[in-house]
Amino acid sequence: MPTILNVRDLVVEVPATKIKIIDGVSFSLEAGQTLGLVGESGCGKSMTCYAVANMLPRGIAKTGGSIEFGEGSAVSGKSGKPTIAMIFQDPTSSLNPVHTIGYYLESALYRHQGLRGKDARMEAMRLLERVGIDRANSRLRSYPHQFSGGMNQRVMIAHALAAKPQLLIADEPTTALDVTMQAQILHLLEELKDETGMALIIVSHDLGVIARLADKAAVMYCGKLVETAPVAELLARPAHPYARALIGCMPSIDAEELEPPVPIPGSVPLLDSLPKGCYFHPRCSRASAECSALFPKSSNVGLAHETACYHPVAA
């Protein structure tokens, strides 16, 4: 499959303070492939996605590296229309409370497909039905506060589909939902990806979500990628101590492995007071003197498996 997204040495920082939020992140994504970004809160997962989608907040800027999408544009295809869509972790606050669901979807259809009037309304109804919302005709007249969190997330997905994206970014799409609704949303994303052939980036701190949806995973820590690998390889043979520690935090339902989750000692350092060398070394049991001197370069530890560690964990 052709490479649809190529991110190289991405640097995102706060220019006023020179604090780097993302530092030298590189990854690629093929058409129809799913990449899972995983890590603790504040490690830079969402900010990486905002940079890819050209949606960085005011006061934060991309100051280094490159983002190439499709024919080389990170935000538009040959038609000049957006080809990247994003859904957010809090759907209710992402929807304008003074506009109906119909207005929200029809405006997007006009902006991205040039549809208006009856054509836009019919397509909006089709999108609602596709994401599993029944009585679509009457639902178009509803407001976000009349929908549950799960239904609003479905509306967000329908809104993203209105752009006919080649790449969909899902930023913690199931965080605020109950377990049943989480499973339904994940199943919907799986179906839509298979139907449309779009690529998908899913952000989550839940390795279970990553294991279900992703083809490959990238582990982030303090704005850097510390390990990338096919998701099955990462879960079976994590090489970086941080990735191994994340997996150790997951509870198991296997009768032969009924051991309590092991918490990661310490806490994530602040971006304005990062330790020298490997950022994880103060919390790492395998750390040595060289770990506190210089951040390690990424190296291969297997087929399509890379880690940035001086002392990778043995299989």
pLDDT score for 116: 92
Residue 258 falls inside a structural domain: yes
Residue 302 falls inside a structural domain: yes
Give the DSSP letter of residue 232.
H
Q: Go through 125-155 and write b for each residue having 16 or more CB atoms within 10 A of its CB, e for each that does not.
A: bebbebbbbeebeebbebebeebebbbbbbb
pLDDT of 132 above 50: yes
**Pairing of the two strands 167-171 and 199-204:** parallel
% of the chain at pLDDT higher than 70: 93
CB–CB of 174/181 below 8 Å? yes
Cα separation, 2 vs 28, in Å, equals: 10
Give the confidence band of 83 by pLDDT, cuts at 50, 70, 90: confident
What's the full length of the chain, in residues? Answer: 315
Burial class (CB in 10 A: 0-12, 13-18, 19+), 266: exposed
Residue 272 falls inside a structural domain: yes
Cα separation, 191 vs 187, in Å, equals: 6
pLDDT score for 73: 45
Residue 257 domain boundaries: 242-315
pLDDT score for 78: 41
Q: How far is CA 22 from each of CA 2, 61, 174, 241, rounded to the nearest angstrom?
A: 26, 10, 24, 20
Question: Where on the phi/psi map is residue 236: left (φ > 0), alpha (ψ -120 to 50), or beta?
Answer: alpha
pLDDT score for 257: 63
CB–CB of 185/23 below 8 Å? no
Q: How far apart are the first and last CA of the chain?
A: 30
Question: Where on the phi/psi map is residue 54: left (φ > 0), alpha (ψ -120 to 50), or beta?
Answer: left
Give the DSSP letter of residue 152.
H
Mean pLDDT of 21-37: 94
Residue 252 falls inside a structural domain: yes
Instruction: Indicate the helix (H) or strand (E) that contains 35.
Output: strand 34-38
Cα separation, 68 vs 70, in Å, equals: 7
Q: Average model confidence (pLDDT) for the chain?
A: 89
Task: Choose between 187 and 261: higher pLDDT.
Answer: 187
Give the confidence band of 178 by pLDDT, cuts at 50, 70, 90: confident
> Which of 15-24, 110-119, 127-136, 260-269 bottoms out in mean pLDDT, i.e. has the lowest?
260-269
Beta bridge partners of 220: 225
Mean pLDDT of 131-151: 92
pLDDT score for 47: 95
pLDDT score for 91: 83
pLDDT of 76 above 70: no
pLDDT of 71 above 90: no
Q: What is the pLDDT of residues 295-304, one digit of tens each?
A: 999 999 988 8
Show the tokens assigned to 132.
Answer: 């599993």
Q: How many domains does one find in the chain?
A: 1
Beta bridge partners of 306: 228, 300
